[in-house]
Chain A
């Protein structure tokens, strides 16, 4: 079944870490400090969510890992990123994709003038295992996303938002990743489609053992599918825990899930989280 990640056992011994960030700081344009010491880790075969409001630093964190920051004049100035036992913070996105870590960017970013099938095939750019294997994986993607098969010859720019998101995830899968960094898969999509996409994330995780790090504003959805969650505020991780524990935490309920006990509070009363100085830990 697991044609996409042959070289890796479906992880169950969850203690092994595939990705860890230690105290990373990110500076944009040499002056703007965006991440102020973020540490997190993803177990092999896990689904981990990064939650938080706009501007909390979720996307920056993912881009720091995949090293797409450089294209936006950002830079990791402190800390280290280790993927599959190897320091990766100085690697180009190309090298990182070769090692099995690929990002699906926020807003999908399909190649609008290429057909869906060509989009998927660009995902296999870094592969060297021959056309037959690529064809096989393409069929596998089509089996996961039957809608993409119907629209394989349409220009991606003319497909719907949901189809583009599926195309983006499928394209990432074509690189045979060990880990996918998924940025806001729910953005601008109907709840039903979001559900569908998260179901596929779960399936890829279970069947192929792909690890996921998902940045999401849709806290509710993300915590249903993730095993572990980190909550970020203004460039710091302010809370983390098992998804279940987070779901039941009163503060999380209040701030992110929109279920407050008692009277609705005004924004003035909403306090920022006490920042644990994680860089001292």
Chain B
């Protein structure tokens, strides 16, 4: 090798994240290729080659899998969005976001069962979420202002159990059916002919994807271009400075928790339509954790893209690699991906870079 080819290589900064990632990737590939050559039992072949073979040979299945991943990804993203909103504005990691989803959905269904027309029930539920936001601000956040983050975090546990108790007392603990038809949400599936096979898309999933995208767009515009949105971002940046220019934190907190409540209601309707409305739904909120780690706690686009990656990754992993170890990958793969991110990029894909001047 001549000197001229060596020089630029010597100039590469081996500490940079990209170079390290590329090196690791190259090493893995190399090991894989070597491994396949000496692989007598065919295990490595099954891991590294077979799944991709399947993807190519049956593209309709691949599209189906990705679509399903996409849909659950959108819903993860919605839950993560609720977390990010509150985290940005009040620095609180809101453990109660999951139960807020259940609570909103239960309230909606419960009101309908009491004889309230469906759309009026939606409006009343929004009212309930607003009252909840005001109550949380008055009873929990305001007295605990300036306490360490961990105390606020623990307080959201309190909110969680309070809401579980309240929900069970008022609406009972039995699973309920979401009022899909009454809200004019579509039912059934569309069969698409694709690559010589069939892909079936649930109409409710399509509706979920569209509604979620709309809501995200509205939130983005609200944050970027309105007075309150600007104030919300200001509060996220520095509480003290926001106070000093006369932004009322109490007002901002109510707005943020109410927004999270709206997001929770929509998430609740969508999840509820796919399964049923029960307290078990709360568990899906935990899925938002890896999404947040992936996307960054402070980034709205991060929550969305993180949600999609986790959703799609999960479904692909389950479908193509799951059988190798007897299935059940779906429940832990997300956390596994998140762990990888924590090791190499702790602020997430889109987490705020900390700007600091000295």
Contacts and interface: CB of A to CB of B under 8 A. Distances in A.
B203 interface: no
A114 B243 contact: no
A171 B243 CA distance: 13
B54 interface: no
For chain B, give the interface size range.
20 to 34
B108 to A, nearest CB: 34
A225 interface: no
Of the candidates B230, B234, B238, B240, the one having the most CB atoms from chain A within 10 angstroms of its own CB is: B234
A93 interface: yes
B234 to A, nearest CB: 5
A125 B146 contact: no
Nearest to A108: B241
A96 B233 contact: no
B248 A71 contact: no
Contacts of A145: none
B237 A94 contact: no
Contacts of B237: 111-114
B334 to A, nearest CB: 28
Given A111-B233, A111-B234, A111-B238, A68 B243 contact: yes
Contacts of B355: 112-113, 155, 157-158
A97 B245 contact: yes
A73 interface: yes
Of the candidates A68, A96, A155, the one having the most CB atoms from chain B within 10 angstroms of its own CB is: A68
Given A71-B239, A113-B352, A93 B244 contact: yes
Contact of A94 (B227, B233, B240, B246): B246
B121 to A, nearest CB: 35
Contacts of B243: 68, 71, 93-94
A109 B145 CA distance: 20
A171 B356 CA distance: 20
Nearest to A67: B243
A126 interface: yes
B231 interface: yes
Contacts of A8: none
Contacts of A113: 233, 236-237, 352, 355
B240 A71 contact: yes
A105 B241 contact: yes
B244 A122 contact: no
B247 A161 contact: no
A73 B148 CA distance: 12
Interface string A145-162: 000000000010110010
A244 to B, nearest CB: 32
Contacts of A121: 227, 230
A156 B342 CA distance: 29
Contacts, number: 85
B216 interface: no
A114 B233 contact: yes
B242 interface: yes
A109 B240 contact: yes
B246 A102 contact: yes
Interface string B7-50: 00000000000000000000000000000000000000000000
Given A112-B237, A112-B355, A172 B230 contact: no
Contact of A125 (B145, B239, B246): B246
A122 B240 contact: no
Interface in A86-114: 92-94, 96-98, 102-105, 109-114
A111 B231 CA distance: 10
A93 B247 CA distance: 8
Of the candidates B239, B240, B246, the one having the most CB atoms from chain A within 10 angstroms of its own CB is: B246
Given A71-B146, A93-B244, A109-B240, A125 B231 contact: yes
B352 to A, nearest CB: 7
B247 A94 contact: yes
B151 to A, nearest CB: 14
Interface string B229-264: 011011011111111111110000000000000000
Contacts of A155: 355
B357 interface: yes
B244 to A, nearest CB: 5
A23 interface: no
Contacts of A125: 227, 231, 245-247
Interface of A: 66, 68, 71-73, 92-94, 96-98, 102-105, 109-114, 118-119, 121-123, 125-126, 155, 157-158, 161, 164, 171-172, 175
Given A102-B244, A114-B234, A119-B234, 4 more contacts: A109-B244, A111-B238, A118-B234, A161-B357
